[in-house]
């Protein structure tokens, strides 16, 4: 091997490692916050908004599942009739209910519990995201009145948006605890196999 080939290989390896190091440092969150603060705050706000929409969808799904379980208990009898209106709401579950009510009950209860756990995890994630957002805004702005105003259609300041999300999170927690109590009551009254 020639000496020039080894020197050029070392140079290319060193240059490549330096490029990877620079790119890694550039993507480091603290540097991103330092160089592009508005973009980071806007991205965190959008993430909180997306999580809020997902939580609302899951709360609706859990509410409908609990309503179905209550309906299932109300129509608990030896003669399990097919229900066309429930077929529209729960197309996969209604044929199972007629054929195997116990399995259908267990399956719907399992799905309700899974939705409940997913909601609890999303609410914890939203809480952590809002706490991080609040902390980053408070460290950037010494006074709440001089808060950074990112571009948004509502024209609200960043603090007002965070407070809105936090109040929504409190409402989501209250609704989840209410639905959890209803689910516990449904399980307590349980399906008699």
* Share of residues in the chain with pLDDT > 90 (%): 33
The CATH fold of domain 36-189: Glutathione S-transferase Yfyf (Class Pi); Chain A, domain 2 (1.20.1050)
Given the structure tokens 């529209």, which residue do they identify? 88
- Structural tokens at position 158: 């960043």
- Residues 161 and 149: their CA atoms lie apart, in Å, by 10
Reported as type and span, the H/E element at residue 100 is none
- The predicted-structure confidence for 115-158, as pLDDT tens digits, reads as follows 999 999 999 999 999 998 888 777 765 544 444 444 444 445 77
| 89-102 residue pLDDT tens | 555 666 666 677 77
Residue corresponding to tokens 């948004």: 152
Taking residues 30-50, what's their average pLDDT?
80
Specify whether the CB–CB gap between 68 and 184 falls below 8 A. Answer: no
Q: What is the mean pLDDT of residues 58-79?
A: 83
Reported pTM: 0.70
- In the chain, where the domains are located: 1-35, 36-189
CA 59 to chain CA centroid, Å, is 11
Residue 146 is predicted with a pLDDT of 44
What is the DSSP secondary-structure string of 26-88?
HT-HHHHHHH-HHHHHHHHHHHHHHHHHHHHHHHHHHHHHHHHHHHHHHT-SSS----HHHHH
Which of 146, 163, 172, 142 lies closest to 45 in space, CA to CA? 163
Distance CA 23, CA 118 (A): 35
Q: Please report the pLDDT score of residue 147 as a whole number.
A: 46
Higher-pLDDT residue of 63 and 84 is 63
Q: How confident is the model at residue 54 (pLDDT cuts 50, 70, 90)?
A: very high
Please determine, for residue 110, whether its predicted confidence score (pLDDT) is greater than 80.
yes
Q: Which tokens in the block code for residue 53?
A: 């929409």
């Amino acid at each position: 091997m020639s000496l020039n080939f080894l020197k050029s290989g070392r140079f290319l390896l060193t240059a490549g490692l330096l490029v990877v190091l620079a790119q890694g440092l550039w993507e480091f969150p603290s540097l991103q916050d330092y160089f592009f603060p508005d973009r980071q705050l806007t991205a965190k706000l959008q993430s909180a908004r997306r999580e809020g929409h997902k939580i609302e969808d899951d709360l609706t799904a859990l509410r409908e599942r609990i309503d179905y379980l209550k309906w299932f208990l109300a129509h608990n009898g030896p003669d399990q009739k097919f229900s066309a209106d429930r077929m529209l709401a729960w197309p996969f579950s209604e044929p199972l209910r007629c054929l195997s009510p116990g399995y259908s009950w267990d399956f719907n209860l399992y799905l309700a519990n899974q939705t409940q756990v997913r909601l609890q995890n999303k609410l914890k994630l939203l809480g952590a995201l809002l706490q991080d957002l609040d902390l980053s805004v408070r460290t950037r702005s010494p006074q709440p009145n001089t808060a950074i105003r990112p571009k948004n259609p509502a024209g609200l300041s960043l603090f007002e948006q965070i407070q809105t999300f936090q109040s929504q999170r409190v409402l989501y927690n209250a609704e989840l605890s209410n639905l959890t109590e209803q689910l516990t009551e449904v399980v307590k009254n349980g399906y008699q196999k």
